[in-house]
Amino acid sequence: MAAGALGAGVLSRLASRALAQPAGETAVSGSAVGNAATQPWQPVPVLQAEPPSPTRFASSGPGLGNRIAITFDDGPTPGVTEIVLKELDKRKIRASFFMIGRNAERFPSLAKEVADAGHEICNHTYTHPQLSALPAAKAQYEIQKAQEVITAATGHAPKWLRPPYGAFRRKDQGILAQQLGLGVIWWSVDPRDWSQPGVGQIINRVVSATLPGSVILCHDLHPQTAQAVGIILDQLQEKDYNFTNVSGFLGEPYGPYFG
């Protein structure tokens, strides 16, 4: 469902319940298990950075309409991203792809293929460093360089940043993202597919941990993920989940719905 279709009033109310993590954290575990028994989605308090305006942080969506988002990090990867795109297209599902800038630069036609298929294009830094360990100038370079090369490759300027490893210093690095018009998004379901635990494990971890409002973290980096994606999508659809992308949950990070 497109964000604009919900209307400003609804999104305003949803956004106040969907903006992210507890203050002071620099990394996010990503696990949604543990909340399932007590809440159908994860409410997340509003956090503010320093002026000129608040940086938008999120790790999940409101879950209205049984919605979830599936996201893919670290691509584009030849031989893997194409399979993921095919499985998504079979089911008419749109996802969010958090591209490493250097990969988009190396494989611009594949990056453009992701965008042309209607998926949301997002920023995952230029070389995938741990941003929280970097000085301000280096962190700014990583975010801005990725923004430039991903935009050049895809024709779409990212609106969301996902810090590699979830590592991010909110107080001083959040403003770096905000200056580029980027909201910061983590995740709430993490199958650790990057560790290649096996196709069955990836499927089970995603399906068992997903709740309404979940943001699912996967990687279009390894063949195991590509092999698991179709089954994951089918099993979640059988549970009556409706897929959206990050902006489908939250709108544009600095759009009119956040006033």
Site of tokens 């969506």:
61
Pairwise CA distance, residues 71 & 179, whole Å:
24
Q: Catalytic pick from 74, 219, 220, 222?
A: 219
Listed residue (23, 33, 58, 30) closest to 44, CA to CA: 58
Pairwise CA distance, residues 82 & 95, whole Å:
14
Q: Is 172 a catalytic residue?
A: no
Site of tokens 């309404």:
212
Q: Is 219 a catalytic residue?
A: yes
C-alpha distances in Å from residue 191, one per residue of 47, 205, 253: 27, 5, 26
Q: Catalytic pick from 73, 74, 190, 193?
A: 73
Pairwise CA distance, residues 250 & 58, whole Å:
9
Cβ contact 172:200 at 8 Å: no
Q: Please identify every residue annotated as catalytic.
A: 73, 219
